[in-house]
Structure formats: structure tokens, C-alpha cells
Amino acid sequence: MAEFRSCLRYLLYKIVLILVLTNIRCSCKEQKYAAKLELDNLARYHNYTELTQLLNLYEISYPSIAQLKTAGKSVQERELWYMKITSNVTETTPGKPMFKYVANMHGNEAVGREMLVLLIDYLLRNYESDQRIKDLVDYTDIYIMPSMNPDGFEVSIEGNSNKPPGRNNANDVDLNRDFPDQFDKKKYTSLQSMLVDRQPETQNMMEWILSNHFVLSANLHGGSVVASYPYDDRFDRMDAASPAPDQNLFVYLAHLYSNEHKTMHLGKHCLDEESGFKDGITNGAQWYDVPGGMQDFNYLHSNCFEITLELSCLKRPPHEQLNTEWENNREALLAYIEQVHIGITGFVTDAKTSEPISAAQINVDGISHTVASDSYGAFWRLLLNGTYTVTVSHASYQPVTKRDIHVWSGFPATMVDFQLLRDIDKTTPVAVSSAPTTMTPGSGAEISFLEPTTFQHHDYEQLKTFLMETAARCSSIMRLYSIGQSVSGRELYVMEVSNNVGVHEPGEPEFKYVGNMHGNEVVGREMLVLLLQLLCDNYGKNDRLSHLVDTTHIHIMPSMNPDGYEKAVEGDKRSTVGRNNSNDVDLNRNFPRRFPSRGNEARQPEVLAVMRWTQSLPFVLSANLHGGSLVANYPYDDTKDGRQVYSTAPDDVVFRHLADVYSFHHPRMHLGRSCDIGHGLLNEKFVNGTTNGAFWYVVAGGMQDWNYVYMNCFELTIEMGCTKFPYAAELQTYWQENEQSLISYIEEAHKGVRGFVLAEGSGMALEGAIIHVHTIDKDVSSAKDGDYWRLLVPGAYKITAMLDGYNVETHDVTVIDGVAAVLNFSLTRDPIRWLQSYDFDLAANLRADYVDDLGAAMLLLQEQYQGLVTVVELGKTAGGKSINGIELSTPQQGVTTKARVGLIGQMHPEQLIGPEMLIRLTRHLAEGVHQNDERIGKIFDTTNIHIIPSVYGDGVTMANEGDCSGRNYTGQQPLYGKLESEFAALDNSLQKHQLHFALSVESSGLGAGYAAATTLEDALLLRELAGSYEGAHPDMSSNGTCDESHAAGSTDSAMFSSYTDYAYDNYGTLMVSMAIDCCSFPPRLRLAPLWMDNLEPMLRFIEKAQQGVRGIVLNENSQLLSSNTTMLKITGPNNTLDVPMNGAEFLRILPRGHYTVTASSHGYDSLSKKTSVVEHAMSMLQLELDLEVEQIVYHDYEQISELLHELQKSHPHISKVYSVGKSVQQKEILAFEIGKSVGVRLPGIPSISFVAGLHGNEVVGREILLQFVQHLLKNYNKDDTIKEVGGRFYLVGSVGLHTVGGRAVTSDAAGGRAVTSDAAGGQASTSDAAGGQASTSGDADS
């Protein structure tokens, strides 16, 4: 049995190893503290890995002006990296022109690739020191793509030759002949039709170009030295000039680059170019015909003007030449970027509403080439100096012409705006700020969105697969998470969409969509699937959607009722089949009601999950998507007496505006027509397609009202159509009708008033401040970062901010129809109010005096709070004073195994601030328990607190109050060794209590110090511990520092880090030393302010004991397993940690992150559970171990077949048995597949094959695989490691294989690859294109 267990563990180990290896990614950001930018080493060729690392490092080093993104992938899955360089790089500034450089389109033409690397370096390094560079970066969105053909570069050859290896992509296609050509005979009606049969690199570039409003560009090549301009080809394919409408402008641009280049303007460089190029420029077609080139595509199909720059005679010259090439090109590269600012620029807006008009056509008289405005209404039109007549037109507006527009040489561009009147004769409505989704080649119109092309219903498994694949595909902006489970155990998935997923960004509103609350109302579910696809496909390519993602935290829940959906029937118009959850409860009647007296049902799991989710984030705006009618419904839904009347919410005018936004962006909803007979409620008509909820019909316990009444969140209910479960063929129409409404509604989260509530002086964020708008009886509150949002319609308002413990503050503000007005509040603290609100009105804690007798003060607290406060003597000081400790615990409450936290004062004898703070903290904690305070009670339920107010107490008589530098201290500084009685007392306490973490309260500075941890997990936890204190401290959170007059002298706490190291090295205690005041011995008048500043930080530090993993280990009969035989390990991102057991219980304080907890015990199968640790929350686990198999018997062929079929029958969703062929004796060669989608090959999921029985007399492997299969199936839903393996791999075991003619062959049905074994050589292997590999080998005598 021991041998079998070893084999089984080995197999699991191999799978997990493959799992890890398959998921390794280059994470250059993790190297940011080790890597350095080496100037001397830049002038060389960088392969793909080196380029990736370098670009990541630039982004990390210059985060405010550099952002690394990808336009897609090459044939061989290499990223097409580009660097965006501009000020405020994560934001979109309307009116700022976009410029791009693209190089290495031909993989062996590599000079441009390295010139752009050097250009990136030059722009970033000189931003702060060179005004020219600063202006260029501040006023231009610069995009630099060093390599469009990374696959080709990898096979190119450096040297004095222009041989072709690497010119083409990995499919051997010339990318500069692969773009749509103006003279081919194909007619394109959409972007999708243009992409057909193109190479991946070409497709990605086309989407990137067409989804952005680039103004000017250059494509860097090699093999000559010349600037080439459009057109590149002619209708007759002759090598003759082919001028573009902007011929003069292109000639100017080519001349500019050539003249600024140190040698290009000379016109003759390369041996095979006898005639050379006059002035170093040429028309592309006149040089040679290039059909399907990128240069012409930019000009014909987008707003972008592009030329091609040939930089060197040799395509990939020796790297020693690169410095010379940089000197030749540097000024030209910079000067060319500056040309993006010539010509005219401005905005096109609606003359009445001032809303931007996108896709307006800008036409210059005499030049037959138009450009279009972007989603902000901004446009740029490059022009040479002169006087022009410009006409702007749009399909839904009357054209406007402006004459005598003067353009001067150079820049800045001439500003000219256009206001268009809507044409009342136009019958087709155009949504404000929207844009067409398709284009005709050559029109110059914006392709705004890359639209979804597949419209289908998704059941639970299909929805889960879609969400997982989309989250993986767009991992830079999407994060999939679950907020809980339905009654039937289905996950309630939410997709977060943001440019910074996983964290709330201060000042950025949180928005949510919830669909499918009623399981048979499915349109919202599928619209949210399509919305996710739209955001994923268009981020970084469309200005409007990119801006939306960059400035909003969007959370999308496609299905709140997945159980009900599984019962619903396609084609259902108005039934209730599937409407309720699995407990037959209507979820939209199950939320807390406005009027509790009208009753409430027990909360359903789905409702509780949504409530917890909504409470966890500062949501501003939301919509709940339903079906069965066509209307935007707003609060209130309920009335006090249940009568059907208009139930006016305090923000009725805001809700009516929000409803209008959705309705009027919908082509039919705003018409207010009722559903046809048999659909919806009969005879229903809605003015403007909107209705007050209770005026339509009363809903008590609805989610809409709960969001508004109990949260900060404004929510509407959108009825999306008269049919509840329409046929899939109708979904495209639903999408076309709702797309603009869904997008425009999200944008409303940015209206009204927003700002921060901060503490006066320190600037510390104030959470929970009430924001009250006078005359509106609905308040909102500030979030944890002090940020708040208050939706309002345009008008003048008086707004007050108030918070317990602070004085109120009121301001006037004017809200306009546009982005939210910014109104910040700085509240001053009122000590009396603060004491009442935060410190149980303990007047002693605001005493402006130091404690005279520390020992007496401790004994008094013990007497006042008997049973809670215990004073113990730990030892004596050198001067004979008692060193006392305080033990605070409530053993009768909470969990058995509690965290142990220590707080220590006066580790430096001259610093008396520690004893004062800790005595006051003891009083606060004890009084909190006495008053049954919920927060303090939770602390003591989970934590035992050990306080040593003073260690080196002899310093009291030798320190001088008001001595901020500590230089007047007359005593000796401690050595922090066991020979000192004080340190020996501390050591005894550390040894006895084995503290999980501790805090040393100090002065002479502001901020934390801590030990150098030996594991990443401990290092992260120390950082979080320090951060929990600093983040809640008013001065530390605002990066306050000490001035020179308060600079620490001999008492600088940085000199005394040895005791933090000692505690960690000897007892594993994570100790943080926290300097809380710049003055070593603050004057007594500072004590009250210091206490008010430090109470909350100390509490938050202690509350870190509530963060980690806690659990119990049991056997299969739920009996406790002994700690003598049980081992508990926790595997984090970098290390596996041994966790001591306390009986059958375990506890480990951990930093935030994902962990695997593995329990093993003698005679039992090990068990692994995955868990996530989030801030201030303890993950609770119960691990039940099964007994190991005691005996294994041999199986003959029939028994194997019967066993495998029985296993499939009992585990139908995750297993499949099938035959891969027959032996010589016509016996089936059976294979058994395990995975989350057996029989279906999902993209990106590799296969692993295990094969046994190659030699008929070698049967041990066969039995091991049979047992292995049973082990996996038995634990699939119990052991998270096994489940993860089964979800990310196909495990295929062939257990009945016999040799045939010295060779054996089977196939992997999941992976489609053959497994071939040579009986003589004893080798068998299989591999899958997705990356999975496994192998077996024969015996020594094979």
C-alpha cells in the first residue's frame, strides 16, 4: 500500500507540475526592484523576450506617462506590443491628437525596431528635463509599436547581407501586401468583411487603426534610405507616379523627415540604387508598385496620414551601427511627430444641446479626401499654410461651411469649431455620442465599435465557459468573480470591467448591471453577454468605450437566477415557468421592504448574496434588466398601504432623467407603445417609454427600492421586451435596439456632483460622512477613501457634509449638463464630538497629562474591568521597577483558537508616548466590551491582546518633556540583549505567548519599520500590517514627514531594528515598530490630538488578526483528528508554509491573496482546499479526510470494462469511457477521460494522457491507473486541486493496451494527438498543441 500511495502521489505531483508550468507567464512587473534600464546596452537588437521585458520595465518606471498595451498577437502568439506615451496616460483627453510609429513590418528590417526602442527611452528619460519633449508628450498621444512582425524578426540574421529570412510572417506572407487594396475588385460593407482571409498581424493592425483616430503615422522599413509617400500603387500596376489628393502635404511631410535626417536628404546611399532619390523622397508607386500596403490603407480607410521611411541600406546591419543610425534619425523622428499639430482642429457639436457629434465628415474644398470627428466630436485635419473653405456634414444634421480659415506654417493648429443644427427632415434618429458600426472603404467614416457577430442563448455551463474565456481573453480589463451560490449551488458570476480590476479606485464610480433576476426573463442575460463582448473587443480601439472602461468600475451580473433559467423554455412569451428560484420564491419580492410592517419572507441565498455584494462596494448607479414589457421603470415600486398610485422618491426628477436616457436611446421604447395583445400587461401605455413603479403596479420587497432606500445606489428596472424568452434568432434585433441605451446609461454615473471628504489639515480620507443636499430628503455617504458621488440634474444646490466627531461644512454648487461638478469638503475635528462618537465618552483619554504612576494606572484598570483586564509582572528594570503586562481576553466568547496580538511601549527609554497611548487603548477596549460595542466584541471573539506599556521604564526620570530630538536624554541607550533584565522580560513574554504579530509604539518620526522577512508571504503581511496603521493615520496617510527641527538624534528608531528581527527570527512574530510623532517626548498638550490620531490606526492594526485562514481537520465521521499525526500546509504565491495545529484546529494570519490549504494525516488521503484571503476577513475551512484504500486487487479485462462503465454512469458530467481501437484478439482498447467538458475540445485546454498495459504481463501500472481514476472521481468535487486539474486539463488514461507487432498506437480523443509506444525502446509520449505533455517509460528490461 505504501508503494501504491507513493505512485498515486507521484501522478498527482506530475499533473500539478504541468499545471504550474502551463500557467507560467513572464511577469516583468515583479522584477521592477531588481531590473535596471541600461542606457549603454540599448543600442543593440532585442529579441522578443528582451523587448517584452524592456517595455514592461519602461511602463513600471514611468507609470504616469507610459502605458504598455497590445494590438493583438502574431501567428506564433507573440504580442504586438505598443507603448502609449502621453501625460495622464490612463485617461483620454478629448482634442489631443493621436500619433503612431510602426516598425519591423518586415521582420528582417530591424533598424526601425531598435530606433523606436531608443525613441521610447529618449522621450521617457527627457520628459522632466527637456521642455521640447515635455510639450510633445503633454500635448500628443504618442503610440509606438517597435515590431509588427515579431515572428519574422526571431529568424532574421544580423550582418552585412540583405538575405530574406524573416521578411514575411510565420505563414510566409508579406504583411505589406496583405491589406485591402484600393484597386482590387472586392466590395467591403463592414470591417468584418475586410478582415476575411487576412493574416493575424494584418487583422489586428486593421482593427487597431480603424478603432482609433490616429492623425499622423510613419511605417519604418529598411533596405534603402528614402521617405516614400502615397499612393503606393496604381490601377494599371505600372511603376509610375500615383498622387493622392493630399499630394502636397505628403511631399512636405516626406521632405521634412528627409531634411531632418543627417544623410537621407543627400538622395543616394545604396549601391544598387544608381539614380538615387532626389532630396531623399519618392512617391511610392513611382518607385515600385505595392498593392495591399499599409501606408495607403491608413489614408484611404481612416483619418490617418502615413508615409513609409526606409532607414538603412542593410536591413539588419551589425548592431555596432545602431548608435550611428540613432544619431541620423533622432531629430527627424521628433520633428515628424510635431507635424501632428499642423492644420486645423476643433469640435463638432449639436447647436442646441452642445452634445458632441461623432462621425461628422470634414471636407476641405479642392481636396477630395475627408476625415471624421471622433466620439467626443473632436477632429484634426492636417493642412499646409494657406486659406481654406471647410464644410462639415452629418447624415442627421444640416451641413455647415466656414470660409477664409487661415492656417499658418508650423503649429499649433488653427482652432475652428462647428455647431450643427439637427435636420428635422431626417427621419432616422441618431443617438448623441454614438457612431456607425460599419463603414464603406474610402469614406473616412469612423468604425466606432467592433460588433458581436454571434447571437445565441447560453445555458449555465455555456455562460460559465463564455465568462471564463472572456475574462482570460481580456484579462487586462476583466476579472470574473462569484458573489455566492444559488439554491441549487450554481455560482452567481459577476464580471468586473475596469482598467484596474480588483480594487476600488478613489474618485471612480462603481456601476452595476444585473440580469435574469426572473429566470424566464432572459433578454437582459444575453444583452449583458453581448455588452461584455463589446467592451472586450473594443477596449484600446474605440475612444468612447475605452474612456468608459478607464473611468468607471463596471460590474456585470448576467444572471441572478441561474436555477430559474434552467427551467425556462425558449419561446415563452408571458408564462411564469422558471420565474422564481429553486425554492419557488420571487427574488424581486424578497429584499427588505420600505415598509417592514407589510411583512417580509426569509431571505433567499441569491438575495443575500446581492445584498452583501452591494454593501461591499460604493455603487453609484445600477439597472435591473427584466422582460415582459418595454419600459424604463423607476422608484418607488412600493406604497405604504399597497395602493397603485404614483410613489414619488425624493430624487424623482433624477430618476425620470435616468429613465429618459435609456428610453430615448432606444429606437422604440420612447414611443411608449403598449405590447401587442397577448404580450405584457394589456392596454399598457407609457409616456416617453418610462413609468413610476408603483403607478404601474406595486412591488413590495423589490431590489430597485432596496438599492435606493438602504444603499447609496440609484437603480432602475428596465423591461427590455414583450417576450420573456424570445427565440435566439431575435437576439440580434434586441442587441441593435439596446446597445446604445446600455452604454449611455453607464455614462450617467459621471453626472451630478462628486468629490472627497477629508480631514482638515491632515487630508486624511473620512469614510461614512453624510452628504446632504438641501431640499432633497435622501443622503448618500462617503466611501472608505473619502470619495462620494451624488447624482443630480442640472441646477444650483446647497450641499452639506457631516460626520460624527467633526464640524459640519456647507457649500453652494452649480451642476451642469455634463461631467459631474467637483466639490470637496475639509472637515475640522471637534474633540467633544469625537469623544462621544468614537471613544465611549471616556474623558480620561483626552487628558492633557502624562500618567504619574504607570503601575497604579494599570491596577486601577484591572479593578474597574475585572475578568477582562489582567495585570501580570514580567520582570524588573535595571533600576528595580516592575515591568508589567496587561492581558486582555474574553475566553468565554468566540473561537477556541484565537489570534495573539501584542502591543509594546517604551522600547526606547526616552520615548514616553507609547505608555500613554497603550494605557488609553486598554481603557478604550475594556469599555467597549463593557458597553457591548459590536466592533470591540468582534475583536475579542477572535483575538487575545497582550500589552506591555513600558519595557525600558527607567528612562522616565532621565528624559525631558518637549525634547523633540532626544539629544537631552541623560541615560544610556539599551543594547537589546538578554543580559538586560528589560529585554529578558520581553523575551520571556514573546516566548510564552508566541504572538502572531506585534506593534511597538514609538516616536521620533512618522512611519513604520519592520524585520526583513524570509518568505514573500511574511513580507507582504508585514507591509499590510504597516499599511493598515499608516493608511488610517491622518499624517501618515497623506505622506506627512518630519521637519529638520524634529529630526531624531541618537533615538532614531531606524537604529534599533534588532528587536523586530529578534522577534521574527526566534519566535516568528511579525513585529512592526511605528513612530507616531516627530517629537521624541511630545509636550503634554499634544497628547489629546495624538490619541485622536492614533486610536483608529491601532484598532485597524489589531483587526488584521481577523484576516487569514482558520479551520478544523476531521475524519470522514466528523471526528477530530489528532495534531500529533496531522500536518497542515498552506501554499501561497511563492512558498509553502507549515502551520502548527492546536488540537484539530489551525490558524494562520495571511496577506491578501489566493492559497491552497492541504491537510494530511497518517492513514488518510490528503485533501486540498483553495481559498482566497481578503482584507479583514477570515477564511473558514473544514477539511474532512477519507481513509486510505486498504487493499487493491487485480482486475481482468471484463472487470476493467465493467468498472469503467460503472464509473462513467456514476459521474456522467465529468467522465467518459470510450474505445480507441481493438487488439489483435478484437478486445476494445479502453480509454477513460476526466474533465469538466468531456467529449468536447475547448480551446486552450490541453490534454494529459497516461497509458498502461503496454506489455501484457506488466500489470501494476494498469491497477495504479484504475485506482487513480477512482481517486480522482471520488475527490473531484471535494479536493480543489483535483477539481482544478480536471477543469484545466483533459486527463486521458488508457488502461487496456496490448502490444501489436512490437508497436502500440492509441489516440487522444480530447486532444486529437497520437500516442505511439515502441515496445523495444519502452518509450511512449503524447503532446497536445495547447501545451500539455506527459510521458511513460518501460521497465529496465524492455
The residues annotated with a catalytic role in the active site are 310, 719
The Cα–Cα gap between 467 and 562 comes to: 14
29's grid cell: 512587473
Residue of 537, 513, 541 lying closest to 451 (CA atoms): 537
Q: Which helix (H) or strand (E) holds 1198?
A: helix 1197-1210
Q: Which three cell numbers stand for residue 594?
A: 420600505
- Whether the CB-CB separation of 337 and 142 falls below 8 Å is answered with yes
Number of helices and strands in the chain (H, E): 31, 55
Query: Which residue bears the cell 513574554?
Result: 989
H or E segment and range at residue 756: strand 753-759
Of 980, 936, 992, 934, give the one whose Cα is nearest residue 955: 980
**Of residues 20, 45, 13, the one with CA closest to residue 111:** 45
Q: Helix %, strand %, coil % for the chain, to 5?
A: 30, 25, 45
CB atoms within 10 A of CB 920: 24
Q: How far apart are CA 212 and CA 224, in angstroms?
A: 30
The CA–CA distances, whole Å, from 125 to 120, 122, 130, 412, 1030 equal 9, 5, 9, 25, 32
Separation of alpha carbons 1159 and 1278, rounded Å: 13
In Å, how far are 66, 1171, 1314 from 1157, measured between CA atoms? 39, 8, 37
DSSP secondary structure string, 981-996? HHHHHHHHHHHHH--S
Cα gap 70→150, rounded to integer Å: 13
Cβ 635 vs Cβ 703: under 8 Å = no
Supply the DSSP symbol for 111: H
CA distance 697 to 692: 9
**Sequence-ordered list of residues with C-beta below 8 angstroms from that of 454, at least 6 positions apart, any chain:** none
Q: How far apart are CA 1108 and CA 1102, in angstroms?
A: 13
Q: Phi first, then psi: what are they for 1156, rounded to 5°?
A: -115, 125
C-alpha cell at 217: 503615422
Q: How far apart are CA 559 and CA 571, in angstroms?
A: 19
Cis peptide before 45 (omega within 30 of 0): no
> Please, which residues bridge with residue 815 across strands?
795
CA separation for the pair 550, 319 (Å, rounded)? 40
Q: How far apart are CA 159 and CA 1281, in angstroms?
A: 51
Helix, strand or coil for residue 1000? strand
Those residues with Cβ within 8 angstroms of residue 731's Cβ, 6 or more apart along the chain or in another chain: 455, 456, 457, 523, 526, 530
Q: 177 near 46, Cβ under 8 Å? A: no
**Cα 1172 to the center of its chain, rounded Å:** 16
Asked if residue 1083 has a cis previous peptide bond (ω within 30° of 0), the answer is no
Give Cα separations from 1212 to 690, 1199, 1204, 1237, 1240 (angstroms).
48, 19, 12, 10, 14
Residue 793's CB is within 10 A of a number of other CB atoms, namely 15
Q: Strand pairing partners for 806? A: 829
Pairwise CA distance, residues 856 & 859, whole Å: 5
Expressed in angstroms, the distance from the first to the final Cα of the chain is 25
